[in-house]
């Protein structure tokens, strides 16, 4: 939940266009056939003889694939066979597999963004051999603008040694780096960047699943889910798949042609999941994305820093560094010029994207690796398997007729911000949560012994697609770049402040909120943004930074009594609605908050303990 200065609500009910994250389908090229593109990407046998000719060839690379644009686009289906999936734009998806030898997978996804030239392009290189016959391979290449199918070419077939040599040559031509140095390569201007993809096994080998069997066993039926009805609805939301996205009963409905929630959220952030699919996203790519944004943060924060000077000033530095970032984290901009990251508001959105990629990657991995049988080898319902993969100590639905549920609803009602009156929040389900890892860390740090009032029950909101990762690994410390009060996890005492970070417009108005017990007092209070707050808070001997808002809860109560939950004894929560404490007539010399509402920033994960998860429906007025 990254902070914003007096944020405007993002709670629109109108779903955004998702076309930008889809790529068009084309009729496959027959084996050995080449498309006519004599001047594009140096794919002909003749090389440009002059700088002018080379420049023309590079220009034609982008111009040539304009003809591939179609109005009707669809998400590609990736078929994995062997060590890596065959490129979905290849005509050999059903007949070939990627060549692998001596631990090497001969597959490369390259990306290049040059904002000055309005270039935002990809390049795929693969060695492909017929299924079951790796005695020879073809060199398959495909290139074009990110978000489009582009052009393709096939060379060969070649014997193994020659095919590998051709692959390495093509890789070096495009990157100016040797294949062997790809993991340490430094991207060069005008050249492509290699995108590392994970090729970990996540399913049974294709041959094992599809191979003939002498004894055909009758497939056992999938049992009904053993989960509580409320947990089933939660799982449908956080483990959304393309063909079963939303809502059971009156709350969730099967929408056969609706993209998954993950696709919708990635599309809204312009991320190209076709180039780096979740489930194949290497951890190093996410870290490199953060590193690129860190460099941008430095030049935006200090236009006179050494990096900015070396790159020709703030403007040139932002253009150059933005191109490097988009080369690592592919974005779809269509034919529009890529957006330059030159201010903190844009930087924060990209930080949120890269942070969200980590959580969405976890969700995808959990879906792919969930064990679909019980200890006796009997099949289990996939939803139950996905839920089990979260490894929660407890998740118990709370009865709507209980005092606990009514008090949670009252907290949400009373803490709805006065500036957020254009929508309301309807709590559908509430769950008690416990994560063993958090409990152990909390007790080890001695936070359970803090005197009454120093622990607070506070809100945290995030995209629903992030929650599988959050529930599995807990809330993690946000990266420091671009965050108003430094590196930490952000909480609120106003539900609508947190709900604005749930992006419910992408999930038919549904969202998820956490209520966490937070070891927060004493506070390091701040009236305005302070990007060094993390260090200053620690130096001052405080537990958390409190960014002061104009609207504040005026009364607090023991959460154990209010919620009928003895485990929260000594933890406090607001009692009644907030009030605007800022005087109508400012007094000269007095400090006044720059935020509408309070926010609390925690810098140590051991100070956080998830207590409740709430599934809500946002209704626009």
By annotation, the residues acting in catalysis are 599
d(CA 82, CA 97): 6
**What value does the mean pLDDT take over residues 172-186?**
92
Of 124-138, 250-264, 360-374, 454-468, least confident by mean pLDDT is 250-264
Location of each CATH 3.90.228.10 domain in the chain: 391-620
Q: Which residues pair with 461 in a beta bridge?
A: 513
Cα separation values, 143 from 108, 255, 518, 535, Å:
12, 33, 50, 46
Give the pLDDT confidence of 573-599 residue by residue, as tens digits. 999 999 998 765 555 656 777 789 999
Strand duo 595-597 + 549-553: pairing: parallel
pLDDT in tens, 286-302: 778 888 888 898 899 88
pLDDT of residue 381: 87
Whether pTM exceeds 0.85: no
What does the pLDDT read at residue 465?
Answer: 83
Spatial CA neighbour of 193 closest among 209, 180, 177: 177
Instruction: Return the sign of the alpha-carbon dihedral for residues 472, 477, 479, 482.
Output: positive
Residue 585 makes CB contacts below 8 A (sequence gap 6+) with none
Quickly list H helices, 256-396. 261-268, 283-301, 306-310, 314-328, 344-369, 382-388
Q: Which residue has the higher pLDDT, 266 or 126?
A: 126
Strand partners, 510: 617
Measured between alpha carbons, how far is 405 from 408 in angstroms, rounded to an integer? 5
Q: Give the least confident one: 346-360, 400-414, 445-459, 553-567.
A: 346-360
DSSP per-residue string spanning 116-168: GGTEEEEEEEEEEEETT--SEEEEEEEEEETTS--EEEEEEEEEHHHHHHHHH
pLDDT in tens, 384-442: 999 999 999 999 999 999 999 999 999 999 999 999 989 999 999 999 999 999 999 99
Helix (H) or strand (E) holding 175: helix 160-175
Fold for domain 391-620? Phosphoenolpyruvate Carboxykinase; domain 3 (3.90.228)
Residues of the chain with CATH 2.20.140.10: 27-69+84-198
Which CATH class name applies to 27-69+84-198?
Answer: mainly beta
Burial class (CB in 10 A: 0-12, 13-18, 19+), 557: middle
> What CA–CA distance (Å, rounded) separates 440 from 578?
34
């Amino acid at each position: 939940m990254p902070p914003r200065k007096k944020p405007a609500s993002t709670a629109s009910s109108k779903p955004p266009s998702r076309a930008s994250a889809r790529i068009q389908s084309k009729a496959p090229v027959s084996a050995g056939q080449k498309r006519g593109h004599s001047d594009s990407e140096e794919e002909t046998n003749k090389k440009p003889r002059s700088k002018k000719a080379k420049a023309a060839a590079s220009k034609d690379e982008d111009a040539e694939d304009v003809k591939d644009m179609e109005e009707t686009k669809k998400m590609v289906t990736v078929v994995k066979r062997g060590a890596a999936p065959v490129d979905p734009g290849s005509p050999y998806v059903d007949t070939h597999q990627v060549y692998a030898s001596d631990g090497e997978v001969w597959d490369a996804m390259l990306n290049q963004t040059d904002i000055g030239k309005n270039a935002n392009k990809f390049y795929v290189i693969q060695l492909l051999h017929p299924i079951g016959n790796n005695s020879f391979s073809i060199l398959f290449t495909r290139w074009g603008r990110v978000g489009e199918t582009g052009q393709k070419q096939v060379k060969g077939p070649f014997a193994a040694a020659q095919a590998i040599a051709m692959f390495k040559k093509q890789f070096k031509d495009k990157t100016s780096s040797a294949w062997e140095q790809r993991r340490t390569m430094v991207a060069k201007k005008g050249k492509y960047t290699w995108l590392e993809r994970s090729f970990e096994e996540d399913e049974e080998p294709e041959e094992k699943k599809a191979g003939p069997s002498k004894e055909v066993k009758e497939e056992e039926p999938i049992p009904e889910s053993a989960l509580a009805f409320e947990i089933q609805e939660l799982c449908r939301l956080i483990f959304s798949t393309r063909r079963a996205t939303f809502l059971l009963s009156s709350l969730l409905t099967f929408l056969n042609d609706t993209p998954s929630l993950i696709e919708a959220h990635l599309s809204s952030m312009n991320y190209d999941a076709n180039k780096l699919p979740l489930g194949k996203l290497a951890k190093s790519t996410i870290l490199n994305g953060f590193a690129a944004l860190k460099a941008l943060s430095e030049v935006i924060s200090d236009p006179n820093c050494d990096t900015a000077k070396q790159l020709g000033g703030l403007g040139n530095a932002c253009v150059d560094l933005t191109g490097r970032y988009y080369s690592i984290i592919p974005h779809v901009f269509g034919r529009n010029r890529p957006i330059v990251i030159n201010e903190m508001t844009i930087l924060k959105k990209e930080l949120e994207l890269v942070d969200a990629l980590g959580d969405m990657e976890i969700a995808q991995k959990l879906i792919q690796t969930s064990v679909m049988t019980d200890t006796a080898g009997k099949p289990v319902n996939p939803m139950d398997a996905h839920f089990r993969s979260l490894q929660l100590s407890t998740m118990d639905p709370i009865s709507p007729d209980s005092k606990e549920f009514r008090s949670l609803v009252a907290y949400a009602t009373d803490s709805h911000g006065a500036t957020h009156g254009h929508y309301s929040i309807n709590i559908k389900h509430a769950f008690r949560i416990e994560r063993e890892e958090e409990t152990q860390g909390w007790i080890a740090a001695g936070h359970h012994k803090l005197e009454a009032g120093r622990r607070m029950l506070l809100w945290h909101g995030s995209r629903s697609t992030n929650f599988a990762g959050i529930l599995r690994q807990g809330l993690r410390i946000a990266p420091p770049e671009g965050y108003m009060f430094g590196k930490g996890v952000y909480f609120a005492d106003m539900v609508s402040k947190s709900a604005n970070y749930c992006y419910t417009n992408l999930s038919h108005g549904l969202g998820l909120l956490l209520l966490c017990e937070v070891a927060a007092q004493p506070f390091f209070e701040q009236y305005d943004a302070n990007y060094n707050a993390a260090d200053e808070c620690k130096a001052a001997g405080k537990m958390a930074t409190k960014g002061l808002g104009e609207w504040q809860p005026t009364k607090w109560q023991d959460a154990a009594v209010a919620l009928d939950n003895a485990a929260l004894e000594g933890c406090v929560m607001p009692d009644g609605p907030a009030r605007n404490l800022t005087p109508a007539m400012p007094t000269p010399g007095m400090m006044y908050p720059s935020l509408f509402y309070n926010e609390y920033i925690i810098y140590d994960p051991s100070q956080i303990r998830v207590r409740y998860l709430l599934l809500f429906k946002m209704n626009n007025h």
